[in-house]
Structure 1
Amino acid sequence: MYEPIRTKSVHSTMAGPASDFPHRSREEELDIQLAGHLAALLAVTDELRAASPSGDLDTTAERLAAEVTRLRGGHPPVRMSAAPADEDAMTLHRRAHALAGRALLVAASRADTAAAILAAEQMDVHAAALEPRELASH
Structure 2
Amino acid sequence: MSHERPSITPSMESSSRIINRQAALTRLGGSEQLFNDMVGFFREDAPQLSEAARQAVTDQDDAETRRTAHSLKGLAANIEASEVVRLAQQLEDLGRTGQLDEAPAVLHALNRAVADVMTACERSE
Choose between structure 1 and 2 for higher RCO, CA contacts under 8 A separated by at least 6 residues: 2
Superposition TM-score, scaled by structure 1 size: 0.41
More helix by share: 2
